[in-house]
Amino acid sequence: MARLVVLGGGVAGHTTATFAAKWLGSEHEVVVVTPNSKWNWIPSNIWVGVGQMSKEEVTFDLAPVYAKAGITYYQAKAVSLNPEGNESTDKSFVTIEYTEAGKEGQSETIEYDYIVNATGPKLNFDATPGLGDGNGQMGDNTVSVCTADHAVHASHELAKAIEKMKGGTRQKFLIGTGHGMCTCQGAAFEYIFNIEHELNKAGVRDMADMKWISNESFLGDFGMGGLHMKVGGYVVSSKLFAESLFAERNVEWLIGAHTSKVEPGKVSYELLDGTMGEEEFDFAMLIPPFAGVGLKAYAKDGADITDTVFAPNGFMKVDANYGAGAYENWKASDWPRTYQNPTYANMFAAGIAFAPPHIISKPMSSPNGTPINPTPPRTGMPSGIIGKAVAHSVCDLMTKGENAHLHEASMAEMGAACVASAGKGVFSGTAAAMTVYPVVPDFEKYPGTGRDTDYTFGEIGLAGHWIKHILHHLFIYKAKLNPGWTLIPE
């Protein structure tokens, strides 16, 4: 019997573990190590953040699901990897630290034959002074929708702001990114328009000033360098559509901005042209930058090999081309295909945890040398597809031997469907439904836009909202491993 250990129980980790458990059966062991006791459908946190869903509607307990799947579950966080073992064992192992109530802080080691790092990101609030509390957690100056608990807090703060407006006090809303190197602009995009929608419903929109602050060099970049769509016989940039929505909903924008400091009611920022400025707010939701979770790696003799296994940002190195150099030299083929670690063949990464070769958007920096550009998104559908491909590879390695064919899932060859909510309501809601193909533009295959415009489209409307709502129930159904779950695509 061989053992696969999956670090992380998010979209990528959960997909990897559940498919591996199904394909391997009882002949091999699948272990999941995740610090959370609940699974969270993160895209719906937006609706929790505006009080339109409860935490219970977007989460469920992992333990019974893993028990049903025959997966061994540790509620713990991984601390370090020993891919060569140590002085007393030749077997690879991971050191974990329990987060489970009653066992907090206790350490244990788990030996593995194969390991998949799908830890997701560390929400690096402390990268921006005042955005974090100095201890790695969110500070008091802003709110967040990155976790279900954060979203619940955000909804309470939003309710207070609405009450103030009903009492005659104007409120300034500032939503966007909290650092020059953030990703996940889409979540902030959804949140600002869901707030705007709720303010309209509450009859206080005229009492609110709304502003978007983002590290994108243009609206509609979304960390993917934007996209081009066929509309009305034209091929047009997502910039035009994003600007149109902001103008229609009377939301001002500040782009190319690195949020450098957050204070009570005020952010300081630096723009791409080097100018500095300040923006006041009454309510702010600023997405933090992401980093790796801080896993360490040690060689058999105890030497620190973290730099060998992980990139400087803490994400795990995989089969990507990390030496592409300048922007002009970037190619779609730089992006990883198998997600296998180049040093240790029994180690893979999936989802946000893998180190991308470079960003997707055009790199930008201010004259002061401050990099201000979105980092690449690796969430949602790509995370699930990568997780499934990695599960397939590991299962083949375990059952067919170490020369088994590895399955591939390059982000430069896969598309993604994305539905960005712009307000919730069965008949009044809207969402931007988009597909991109491929996620990472390939200018050699698709000269001009880098993507196949036959499969890259977007439109806003009630249909998009219905789709997002259906996907909410569909993916939670799938994640609970209910009957027919494998038929639902990632």
Partner 1 sequence: MKKEELNFEKSDDFNLTMIPGSFAKKMRTCVIWQFIRFVAINIKMIIVVQKSH
Give the rounded distance of the alpha carbon of 235 from its chain centre.
28
Figure out which of the listed residues 27, 90, 140, 248 binds partner 1, where binding follows CB under 8 A: 248
Q: Which residues pair with 109 in a beta bridge?
A: 95
Query: What x/- string results for residues 132 through 161 when contact with partner 1 is judged by CB under 8 A?
Result: ------------------------------
- Applying the rule CB under 8 A, the residues between 450 and 489 that interact with partner 1 are 455, 457, 459-464, 466-467, 489
**Which sign, positive or negative, has the C-alpha torsion 6, 12, 14, 17?**
negative
Identity of the residue, 30 or 414, whose beta carbon is nearer to partner 1 in the bound complex: 414
Q: How far is the CB of 437 from partner 1 (least distance, A)?
A: 6
Contact (CB, 8 A) for 26 and 3:
no
Q: How far is the CB of 302 from partner 1 (least distance, A)?
A: 42
Tell me which H or E stretch contains 174. Answer: strand 171-177
Query: What x/- string results for residues 420 through 439 when contact with partner 1 is judged by CB under 8 A?
Result: -------xx-x--x-x-x--
- Applying the rule CB under 8 A, the residues between 249 and 288 that interact with partner 1 are 250, 252-253
Which among 324, 318, 334 has a CA at the least distance from the CA of 441? 334
- Applying the rule CB under 8 A, the residues between 188 and 217 that interact with partner 1 are none
Q: How far is the CB of 288 from partner 1 (least distance, A)?
A: 26
Q: How far is the CB of 375 from partner 1 (least distance, A)?
A: 22
- Determine how many CB atoms are found less than 10 A away from the CB of residue 467: 16
Q: Which residues pair with 60 in a beta bridge?
A: 39
Number of residues that bind partner 1 (CB under 8 A): 34
| β 122-123/3-7 pair status | unpaired
CA distances from 376 to 26, 119, 179, 183 (A): 37, 17, 14, 6
Please list, in sequence order, all residues whose beta carbon lies within 8 angstroms of the beta carbon of residue 117, skipping any fewer than 6 positions away.
7, 8, 78, 295, 316, 347, 348, 349, 350, 353, 354
Q: How far is the CB of 335 from partner 1 (least distance, A)?
A: 14
Identity of the residue, 107 or 428, whose beta carbon is nearer to partner 1 in the bound complex: 428
Q: How far is the CB of 206 from partner 1 (least distance, A)?
A: 12
Burial of 312 (0-12, 13-18, 19+ CB in 10 A): exposed
Question: Token pair for residue 308?
Answer: 């060998």
Q: How far is the CB of 235 from partner 1 (least distance, A)?
A: 15
Quick check: 414 binds partner 1 (CB under 8 A)? yes
Identity of the residue, 255 or 309, whose beta carbon is nearer to partner 1 in the bound complex: 255
- Applying the rule CB under 8 A, the residues between 339 and 398 that interact with partner 1 are 381, 385, 388
Query: Reduced to 3 states, what is the DSSP secondary structure of residue 136?
Result: coil
User: Using CB under 8 A as the criterion, which residues of the chain lie in contact with partner 1 when the complex forms?
Assistant: 240, 243-244, 246-248, 250, 252-253, 381, 385, 388, 414-417, 427-428, 430, 433, 435, 437, 455, 457, 459-464, 466-467, 489-490
